[in-house]
Amino acid sequence: MLATVLTKTLRDRWKGATIGGVTLALMLLLGMAVYQDVDITFYQELPDAYRSLVNIPDNTDIGGLAYGAMYGSYGALTLAGLAVSSGSAAVAREERFGTLGLLLGNPKSRTHILASKAGSTIVLVALATAIMWAAGVMVPEILDVDVSGMRVGSLMIHMFINALFYGFLALALSAWTGKTAIASGVSAGVIFVSFFAAGLLPLVEGFESVVKAFPWYYFQGSQPVVNGVDWGHLAVLLAGIAFFAGAALVGVNRRDLRNQEIGVTLVDRLRSSPLTNKVVDRLAGSTRVSRIWVKTASEHQGLLIVTAYIMFLVMGVIIGPMYALIDDSLLDLADQFPETMLALFGGGDMSTPEGFYQIETFGLMAPIAVMVVTLTIAARALAGEEANRTMGLLLANPIKRSKVVVEKAGAMTVYAVAVGFAVFAGVALGSVLGGLGMNIGNIAATSLLAMLVGMVFGALSLAVSAGTGRMRAAIFVPIGVALMLHVLNALTEINEGISGWARLSPFYYYLGSDPLLNGMNWGHGAVLAALIVGLVALSVWLFQRRDLRQTG
């Protein structure tokens, strides 16, 4: 029956939605508590374009600032990410694990299965939204903050529909390709490009109307927390959802489905070339898996290509010329703003190229990009092998558990370095094309620190994977911890009374020394490197002492 597939999917994935909703609710509580001790009158005098960038409503107060920063930015991105995770796994994950044939062996059509998976995506996003909605009502009561005039319900409705738009985009891609990496990677790219376009384009003279081409505009453009539900904007998103649902239905019914995930890896392609086959054969080793890290790295090539491309071109090369096009009067005005204004996005002075790149690229996007690849590899490194029932085959070879962990960590490191280099190359080229004159050494230092902070949470994911054998825990626990620590670090810059807590967050050791202006802080880099080594060592210890699971 349809309900059986639906309820099983909900049973398998409800924890992630709950953790995401609770984490964001706690962030709202923390943020609203901190904002009570901050003079926020200067926010009300900012230009419309700047308030749009960080989703701060007009005539804001403590409630509006907290809702805009915590829910309108972090919350909307997280909720959309949860929807993409569910949508991309809908068909492709069943194919990857070879269970789709078992489902279709029952009296269930492809359409019924797709409808069940789509229904589960809607319910999971609704669950996280409901938790955030409840917190949005209760937190102001707990803290005695006046939020009269704030329409948290309207904001939640917009966030819910916005998340489903990207979730159904991932569903359509999953149905047409059968590949989770493509479905999640492309959808995540659309999210982040749209998110930053909605904030950046209003800053560029003559491009104000272009923002309407990006779906994120229809989430935040009408400022629903102040003005209520904009049914015209929601209609655009709902039309997109309906289109993606129809496309998914056509795709899943006309495509030859696979029994399990197959494909030509990067290693296979290099082996087929006479120019590289000898080198790759030597690196890859024999059938005794002497080079586990090469095999692991080759399994995630699509994710790396999409992530590196976005960071190099969209968040690196394009930002430089775009900054050069921004109206000078806005830049002069920005020079008068306190640096804490955009602390939640990494801080920085938008009147300088370094500050602009820090807010747009390094503050959030660079560490997120590194985390995307490190968490994916780390979660699947051990827990994924157990879920696929291949860990036993791997350990049947004369290889120690510790070597498996270390080589999986090596693959994670290779990917982190590749994304870090893409960030460096993109920003450096963007600076040259825009004539910004940024220091190349400082760009390299900041890119290296971004790589390290992303690897910290990748190593945490590896430790959770080693200790629990569960992929979902290895993904959602580091994401939740990263969100909380990033917000903690940002709020310490806003409220001096809690500034001492900043050193508890790895993000303090990332941008706390302003590396784009001051260059590499080797002490901060050493702290991040020590955290990575310590977490990998913990992973080895946990993996050696745990009975392995036979299923995921």
The answer on pLDDT for 262 being more than 50 is no
Q: How far apart are CA 429 and CA 457, in angstroms?
A: 28
User: Lowest-confidence range among 43-57, 107-121, 440-454?
Assistant: 43-57
pLDDT in tens, 356-400: 888 778 887 889 889 888 888 888 777 666 666 666 556 656 677
Q: Are residues 139 and 242 both part of a single domain? A: yes
Domain co-membership, 247 together with 339:
no
| Residue 507 within a domain | yes
Final residue belonging to a domain, choices 240, 256, 272: 256
Q: Is the residue at 22 inside a domain?
A: yes
Nearest-angstrom CA–CA distance, 145 and 143: 6
The reply to whether 272 falls in a domain is no
245 and 130, same domain (yes or no): yes
488 to 61, 73, 213, 482, 505: CA distances (angstroms): 21, 16, 34, 10, 7
Is 17 a residue whose pLDDT tops 70?
Answer: yes
> Can you spell out the DSSP letters for 150-196?
--HHHHHHHHHHHHHHHHHHHHHHHHHH--HHHHHHHHHHHHHHHHH
Phi then psi for residue 244, to 5 deg, are -65, -35
Q: Which band of pLDDT confidence, cut at 50, 70 and 90, is reported for residue 77?
A: confident
pLDDT per position as a tens digit, 408-435: 888 888 889 999 999 999 999 988 888 8
Choosing from 238, 256, 274, the residue where a domain stops is: 256
Are residues 212 and 105 part of one domain? yes
CA 257 – CA 37 distance, rounded (Å): 57
Shared domain check, 199 and 53: yes
214 and 116 both lie in a single domain: yes
pLDDT at 261 over 50: no
Which of these three, 256, 291, 324, is where a domain ends?
A: 256
Check residue 360 and give its pLDDT. Answer: 78
Output the six-digit token pair for 1. Answer: 């029956």
Q: Are residues 317 and 252 in the same domain?
A: no
**Banded pLDDT at 527 (limits 50, 70, 90):** very high
Q: Judge if 2 and 138 occupy the same domain.
A: yes
Domain check: are 246 and 100 in the same one?
yes
Tell me the pTM: 0.62
Asked whether residue 290 is domain-assigned, the answer is no
pLDDT tops 50 at residue 289: no
Domain boundaries, position 398: 313-547
Give the mean model confidence (pLDDT) for residues 181-191. Answer: 83
- Per-residue model confidence as pLDDT tens digits over 220-250: 888 888 788 999 999 999 999 999 999 999 9
Q: Are residues 210 and 354 in the same domain?
A: no
Q: How confident is the model at residue 552 (pLDDT cuts 50, 70, 90)?
A: very low
Q: Are residues 46 and 112 in the same domain?
A: yes
CA–CA distance, 534 with 537 (Å, rounded to integer): 5
Give the model's pLDDT for residue 160.
95
Is 529 a domain residue? yes
435 φ, ψ (degrees, to nearest 5): 65, 40
Instruction: Give the mean pLDDT of 512-522.
Output: 88
- Rounded to an integer, what distance in angstroms lies between the CA atom of residue 375 and that of residue 537? 17
Together in a domain, 217 and 338: no
98-139 residue pLDDT tens: 565 555 556 667 788 888 888 989 999 999 999 999 988 888
- Which of 282-296, 312-326, 343-357, 468-482 shows the lowest per-residue confidence on average (mean pLDDT)? 282-296
Is 205 or 544 the better-scoring residue by pLDDT? 544
- Domains identified in the chain, total number: 2
Longest dimension (CA), the chain: 71
Mean pLDDT, rounded, of the chain: 77
pLDDT of residue 444: 93
Q: Does the residue 307 lie in any domain?
A: no
456 within a domain of the structure (yes/no): yes
User: Quick check: is 285 in a domain?
Assistant: no
